[in-house]
Amino acid sequence: MIDLRSDTVTKPTPAMRRAMAVAEVGDDVYGEDPTVNRLQDRAAEVFGKEAAIFVPTGSMGNQIAVKLHTKPGDEVIVEERGHIFNWEMGTPAIVSGVMIRTVRAANPTGMLTWPEIEGALHINQAYYACPTGLICLENTHNFGGGSVMSAAETDDICRHAHALGLPVHMDGARIFNSAGAQDETVENLSKACDSVQFCLSKGLGAPVGSMLVGSKEFIAEARVWRKRFGGGMRQAGILAAAGLIALEESPKRLHEDHANARRLAEGVAEIRGMSIDPESIRTNIVIFDVSGTGKSSADICASLKADDIHAIPFGPAIRMVTHCDVSREDIEATLVALSGIVRNG
């Protein structure tokens, strides 16, 4: 099986399984799990922030941040293709009582600029306007094709936002991919943001878990909301043990996933009717348009499935994501299968 649907499908490595088996544990709701505490301390250190909290999912990390940064009736700025708007099931409305104001980035990467954000703000306007309470950035941008935002671009947005008293949250589900692609540190990429969520269970390969990072005060409040969300886990050190390996070891190999994604895009670009600019591939996500093939993306994915190759159709496009359980041979086999599907009409 070649599973390119997402980087969430990875299985824990043998080292992770060994660490899980021998993990020192305690009751994390009492703050007594030494392995969770170690993971949290280490995540805070790596991001150069005061504190961090282990949460079951990226969605929970993002939604706790939305809750803590806003009050009911606020608007939250999210890029139109952003995860918080499209794939978190309306939770900002349900849990935080806020509205999402989407902004479409002019750049196909999905990366917003300050002028684009500024045009959508409601600050000090008439009392009957819906006030902006938070700006969310996504780095890498999933549906922008794994695109990256630089430290300078992030700093610029944060500087303007903070001057207006607006907090900035970064959905950094794949921020380690972004850092690897830019030869940057995750600390530099997010230091100006008030909070960052990153996933251990995507490109970093852990079976479960995400981290929310921020100030001591913010993370203390996040602990309350994690419990309210039902995310107060007990002997979670079993999971944190894998998370620690993901945090320390996995970033070192992400360049392999990025090279595989680039090779995939180069091969796809040569197939009649499929279009993608391989130069646009910076990390591990490849989204390519197949409308020129005369087949639908769903039909192509169904044909791939017959070869036990799995990808996700989105409108006229297909998304493929590389990760630690996908080899270069898998990429070549996928390209052969795709060419065959198009050639055989």
Q: Which of 49, 67, 69, 83 binds ligand PLP (CB under 6 A)?
A: 83
Q: Is residue 236 near ligand PLP by the rule CB under 6 A?
A: no
Q: For residue 246, what is the enclosing H or E element? A: helix 237-248
Residue 259, exposed/middle/buried by CB under 10 A (0-12, 13-18, 19+)? middle
Binding window for ligand PLP (CB under 6 A); candidates: 57-65, 155-163, 238-246, 256-264 = 57-65
Q: Is residue 170 near ligand PLP by the rule CB under 6 A?
A: no
Binding window for ligand PLP (CB under 6 A); candidates: 19-27, 55-63, 308-316, 332-340 = 55-63
Q: Is residue 177 near ligand PLP by the rule CB under 6 A?
A: no
Q: Is residue 323 near ligand PLP by the rule CB under 6 A?
A: no
Let me know: does 325 contact 10? Beta carbons within 8 Å: yes
For residue 6, the minimal CB distance to ligand PLP (Å) is: 6
Q: Is residue 70 near ligand PLP by the rule CB under 6 A?
A: no
Q: Which of 210, 250, 293, 322 binds ligand PLP (CB under 6 A)?
A: 210
> What DSSP designation does 138 have?
E
CA atoms within 13 A on the CB side of 9: 15
Q: Which is nearer to ligand PLP, 59 or 284 (CB)?
A: 59
SS3 assignment, position 6: coil
Task: Give residue 207's identity as a one-letter amino acid code.
Answer: P
Q: Which of 58, 180, 203, 243 binds ligand PLP (CB under 6 A)?
A: 58
Q: Which is nearer to ligand PLP, 75 or 88 (CB)?
A: 88
For residue 210, the minimal CB distance to ligand PLP (Å) is: 6
Q: Which of 173, 193, 213, 290 binds ligand PLP (CB under 6 A)?
A: 173
Let me know: does 247 contact 80? Beta carbons within 8 Å: no
Q: Is residue 109 near ligand PLP by the rule CB under 6 A?
A: no
| Closest among 185, 336, 204 to 257, alpha carbons compared | 204
For residue 173, the minimal CB distance to ligand PLP (Å) is: 3
Biggest distance spanned by C-alpha atoms of the chain = 62
d(C-alpha 213, C-alpha 116), whole Å? 26
Closest-CB residue for ligand PLP? Answer: 58
Q: Which of 74, 171, 194, 257 binds ligand PLP (CB under 6 A)?
A: 171
Site string (10-49) toward ligand PLP, x via CB under 6 A: ----------------------------------------
What's phi and psi for 329, nearest 5 deg? -65, -40
Q: Is residue 142 near ligand PLP by the rule CB under 6 A?
A: yes
For residue 221, the minimal CB distance to ligand PLP (Å) is: 20
Report strand pairing: 210-214 vs 51-55.
antiparallel
| Long-range contacts formed by 219-228: CB under 8 A, 24+ apart | 219/50, 219/51, 219/52, 219/53, 220/51, 221/68, 222/53, 222/55, 222/64, 222/65, 222/68, 223/53, 225/64, 225/67, 225/68, 226/53, 226/55, 226/60, 226/64, 227/29
For residue 77, the minimal CB distance to ligand PLP (Å) is: 16
Q: Kindly state the number of chain residues that form the binding site for ligand PLP, as judged by CB under 6 A.
A: 12
For 74-90, letters b (16+ CB in 10 Å) and e give: bbbbbbebbbbbeebee
- Site residues (vs ligand PLP, CB under 6 A): 57-59, 62, 83, 138, 142, 171, 173, 199, 201, 210
